[in-house]
Amino acid sequence: MLEKLFPRNEHKVERVLRVIVGIGLLSLAFTGPKTPWGYLGIIPLVTGLVGSCPLYTLLGIGTCPREGDC
Answer whether residue 69 is part of any domain: no
Please count the other Cβ atoms lying within 10 Å of the Cβ belonging to residue 14: 20
The stretch 24-49 carries a mean pLDDT of 94
The stretch 43-60 carries a mean pLDDT of 94
Domain housing 29: 2-63
Answer whether residue 70 is part of any domain: no
In total, how many domains does the chain have? Answer: 1
The stretch 36-51 carries a mean pLDDT of 95
Task: Report pTM.
Answer: 0.87
pLDDT of residue 47: 96
Answer whether residue 6 is part of any domain: yes
* Average of per-residue pLDDT values in the chain: 91
The stretch 34-62 carries a mean pLDDT of 93
Answer whether residue 59 is part of any domain: yes
Answer whether residue 58 is part of any domain: yes
Q: Which of 39, 42, 49 is nearest to 15 (CA)?
A: 49
User: Is 34 or 22 the better-scoring residue by pLDDT?
Assistant: 22
